[in-house]
Structure 1
């Protein structure tokens, strides 16, 4: 018999895996119109160094330019840009007025601050990244302009890309009110996900389809939760979108309850949500909707939700937007908690140590002229970010991408005219970034070409070899720091997210068991439970793909997450059943007790929690 091939280790499999999906042509167009034109205008105006700063800001904003709504892009692009401008201002002042030791201490302190902030969430992580990268650039790049002017140039670069994001329509959205095309697509995806889950009820595909529904709801929630000037929607189109999103929540609840029951439903049940999805995308009325059977509580809930959705689509009434849950206290708790502290210490150690090593090499005569010492700490910032993937995967992809990008640039730099050819190369690289973000190595290669082109436009010599050396040194440093013991328990970030998900699940369960009639609050708690659980799942998957020395510290957390997921699904089924009958069935009670016993190590007494809810029958 032929011998079976050995399984690819998780850390290597993650490095080889790339995201898939359609090409984001609108983001490609924005990338082409961002860094390149900014740099060209600055060069023609005689301010090449300011153009380099603006192009760097546009590049970093382009990395954050992901699919979604325009209102969400304001926060996703704007907040990191503000942090980057502040970092550039601080770094410029420190680099010009402080010696090597005070400068290193200051950068280490910034690393501690940015690391704690980065643990809060994706936008905060982007802000922390740009704060440190811009601080390193400001401290090490020989910019002739004063710091405030450089910071304004940085804001102008990121602001230009944000302006393009807000102003340019996306393909296929030229009809109707294109301002809300991202919101419409996100809400329509929710209805499609509901239909997909209904099609999968009673099959093995139901669990991944329910997870896909959670992802769609998260995206829609983010798309509609961007900044606004007042509490109420400012236009009829916006009010209609919020009404359509609100109408999807009871549909998602009913579909989840049907999936929990596991009894196959007719294909007719999914027709209504699919017609609603088409109505959202086309910005048109729904027309008649097929009614599903009403033979079970979850099916009756589904039918009622469809009737409510049809009414909401026709009337478009939702004067008050769904309030965003206050997260300020939770964000502060995350940043100062065990996960935030571990993250902050590693970022500070990597950033400070890389800055110290880089400056030592900069002043060492035997090393030669080390003009770009800021590259080492800036590279370490990206490598130390766990939200970009497992440590081994990040290091492998960063090293491979840098070598490939440097070799490609070296070949192009030998034949391209200067500066016109280099400016064109910056524009092409900016256009490629939205596609390259699907894989860290590809993104690194494109960014390397762009950065090396900017360096030459700024008047410095070709630096491909130096770029490779800085990256490999940063990879080695981050690998060492990543395996160093730190105060507290390893894997604290994963356990902190799992504890947050557990608290949200119990809050949702408690609200359902006390028989509250506040459905809006129930849906908000359900969303919070699933959202925090999805974040914990992501962190667990990344930790599992680390090298074995690191992955062992989070063993078993995936099993806890699976129990929490079943608990939230069961709670949803209980909520739907209580709405219909006012009582819990023996099956619901038994399942809740089993799941709580798995989580708590003992058999809970639900009767003590909710004595007013007798068993059905």
Structure 2
């Protein structure tokens, strides 16, 4: 007899990301929080060193693999938001009574929650804004607010400087400034080859999803800030051109996946050699030509020829993906739409209520031995974030991680000398943060030890028991708010992402069937369609792992996403067919009608009727 499967909300709590140890990020983590705390202690500015170390810790949580220039936005924008939150929280805590302060923090939570619905960078910025505001309001200090904000920026800036300056292991033979971009573009070619190898097999769908993820990652890696907007270095132009050359290859490979007919084994060899050429900086050599027996194979052969020309030229102008204005409009829709409003209300309730409870406990004579009340609202901010997993999973992981971290710190505090032992403990935890981000419980445990060490280094007594109690209280609060009914339809975040995917599929289909010859625009619309679909799929998967009372509000959305995915795949196949023959085959028309008909049956907006 087979064992009964664990419910999704419980099974999710035991899942962890896998992959190689990010040794570069580990090194940066070891060189930030601990040394910053040490500098503050040696300079007689312990409070400043503690704030700088907290900033380095929060920035380290966002220090993920990717390109250097993309890290400027990924690390810098949340750091600026954190400095602003610390500034506002400090002056609000000094100038406002308990009730006005709670109302101000609630309003700040509403704004930060709505902005967090835009995307990962905005979500990290909203989190740091609120956490730093709670720290600023709940951690009194002699320094004025502007000095505390500068200390926060210095701590985050130091990690960013290390991210930009230190080479990645194995990148020294080449120009290490673009090692992240090179790896991301090479991964796209490898993903194309892997999809071609899997066409017609059981792993084809997973390989097509992996290709989408690789394209998203490369697009983000190449979207970092540029000193000269229209020029850039030769290495930069070369990488952009090679990424642009991969787009028609990905389109042709997707069309072959849609057809579902196995291709010759050598078909994927060309993209694989191009990936090797990017990584090694050498020429790809002769590329094996695929058979030209079908429109998609002919498109693949043509795309390989164009890619070979791009690689032979060595550099050149690139055809970037358009859509900057489209991205701004999309961000505004996300923040002001139903998903942003729902998330903003929940963050505001959690943050405001936790701040009110924390201040009430702070003024209660019978409660605790420490005077800072920021832990409860800061914990609530992390718990209310849906991009960290389902609500029940977040609560379980946060509770378990806090208990474990508090117990570990209690043992360390009893054994380690002060302050040298605390500095060493902070340095070790800073190095562990990039690895611990793979699981929320592990990250919680490491952050708990680090923060408790910083608090003790700042002169407070050991407060492990109090942190455990406040964390459990925050867990209860967030569970209650998470199940409260809100104005409008529940599951707004999922449905807003699904609507964005529908709109993108609509625009892509209109462009392909409209007969436009602008292929760069077509590839940009295709990228937008697949990216929004991937984001919707992620949100749907998280919602499906919620407790049944919450998961039922998004039932059926996975089926809609699957139909949209088939529609976008079919649109890609239609684009390749129209390029080759100028008309759609009966098979393409039938598949379009089936997908559109199924969307209409499910009550979704039908992008465009297609005549047979």
Shorter-chain-normalised TM-score: which range? over 0.9
Deviation at 1:42, TM superposition (A): 1.1
Equivalent-residue separation in structure 1 for 2:244 and 2:607 (angstroms): 32
Instruction: Choose which of 146, 151, 154 in structure 2 pairs with 1:156.
Output: 154
The residue that corresponds to 1:256 in the other structure is 254
In the alignment, is the contact (CA less than 8 A) between 1:95 and 1:140 conserved in 2?
Answer: yes
TM-score, structure 1 normalization: 0.97
Q: 1:333 maps to what in 2?
A: 333
CA distance in 2, matches of 1:608, 1:150: 55
Q: Secondary structure at the match of 1:21?
A: coil
Is residue 586 of structure 2 the alignment partner of residue 570 of structure 1? no
Corresponding residue for 2:401? 401
Contact 2:292 2:301 in 1 (8 A): yes
**Does the CA contact (< 8 Å) of 1:362 and 1:369 recur in 2?**
no
* Deviation readout 1:2-23 (Å, 9 max, x if unpaired): x432111000111000000000
The 5 A counterparts of 1:61-80 are 61-80=59-78
* Alpha-carbon distance in 2 for matches of 1:520, 1:607: 22
Task: Show the 5 A alignment for 1:158-197.
Answer: 158-197=156-195
Q: From the superposition, tell whether residues 323 and 298 of structure 1 become closer, same or farther in structure 2 (CA, over 3 Å).
A: closer
Match of 1:243 in 2: 241
Which residue of 2 is the match for residue 417 of structure 1? 417
Q: Show CA shifts across 1:586-617 (max 9, x none).
A: 0000100010011123999x999678xxx8xx
What is the CA deviation profile of residues 160-188 of structure 1, one whole-angstrom value per residue up to 9, with x for unaligned ones? 00000000011111111000000000000
Tell me the distance in 2 between the aligned counterparts of 1:259 and 1:592: 16
Normalising by structure 2, report the TM-score.
Answer: 0.98
> For this pair of structures, how many residues does the alignment match?
609
Following the alignment from structure 2 to structure 1, what is the Cα–Cα distance between the partners of residues 316 and 481?
51
What per-residue deviation string (whole Å, max 9, x for no partner) do you get for residues 318-371 of structure 1?
424514522112111110110000000000000000000000111112324452
Q: Is 2:283 the partner of 1:312?
A: no
The correspondence of residues 387-398 of structure 1 with structure 2, limited to 5 A, is 387-398=387-398
User: Counterparts of 1:593 and 1:366 in 2: how far apart (Å)?
Assistant: 69
| Secondary structure class of the residue paired with 1:172 | coil
* Cross-structure match for 2:99: 101
CA shift digits 1:175-230 (9 cap, x unpaired): 11000000000000000100000000001211110000000000000000011133
1:20 aligns with 2:18: yes
Q: CA deviation at 1:314?
A: 1.2
> Per-residue displacement from partner, 1:405-448 (whole Å, max 9, x unpaired)?
11111111111111111001101100000000000000000000
Helix, strand or coil for the counterpart of 1:570?
helix
Match of 2:227 in 1: 229
Structure 1 range deviating more: 282-291 or 428-437: 282-291
Task: After TM superposition, list the pairs within 5 Å mapping 1:347-386 onto structure 2.
Answer: 347-386=347-386
> In 1, are the aligned partners of 2:589 and 2:610 still within 8 Å (CA)?
no
Give the structure 2 partner of residue 211 of structure 1.
209
Paired with 1:387 and 1:36, the residues of 2 have a C-alpha distance of 28
Give structure 1 stretches of 5+ with no counterpart.
none
Give the whole-Å Cα distance in 2 for the aligned partners of 1:554 and 1:574.
Answer: 31
- What secondary structure, in the 3-state scheme, does the structure 1 residue paired with 2:31 have? helix
Paired with 1:268 and 1:320, the residues of 2 have a C-alpha distance of 29
CA contact (8 A) 1:231 1:321 kept: no
Q: Show the 5 A alignment for 1:487-506.
A: 487-506=487-506
Aligned match of 1:37: 35
How many angstroms does 1:477 deviate by?
0.4
1:485 partner SS: coil
Distance in 2 separating the partners of 1:64 and 1:324: 27
Task: Structure 2: state its 5+ residue gaps.
Answer: none
- 113, 128, 133: which one pairs with 1:135? 133
Is 1:114 aligned to residue 112 of structure 2?
yes
**What's the C-alpha RMSD, in Å, of the aligned pairs?**
1.6
| 3-state SS of paired residue (1:243) | helix
Which segment drifts farther, 279-288 or 18-27? 279-288
Counterpart in 2 of 1:144? 142
Which of 52, 55, 59 is matched with 1:54 structurally?
52
Q: Give me the whole-angstrom Cα distance separating, in 2, the residues matched to 1:91 and 1:603.
A: 46
The answer for the alignment partner of 1:86 in structure 2 is: 84
Secondary structure, in 3 states, of the residue corresponding to 2:418? Answer: coil
After the TM superposition, list the runs of 4 or more consecutive aligned residues in structure 1 that deviate by more than 6 angstroms: 606-611
Change in Cα spacing, 1:554 to 1:293, as seen in structure 2 (3 Å) is same
Give distance in 2, aligned partners of 1:219 and 1:290: 27
Q: In the alignment, what sits opposite 1:530?
A: 530
- 1:448 corresponds to: 448
- Tell me which residue corresponds to 1:540: 540
- Distance in 2 between the 1:416 and 1:608 partners? 68
Given the superposition, is the C-alpha separation of residues 314 and 170 from structure 1 closer, same or farther in structure 2, using an over 3 Å criterion? same
Distance, in Å, in 2 between the alignment partners of 1:84 and 1:368 is 28
Structure 2 partner of 1:295: 293
Query: CA separation in 2, counterparts of 1:259 and 1:398?
Result: 41
Residues 244 and 318 in structure 2, CA contact (< 8 A), matched pair in contact too: no
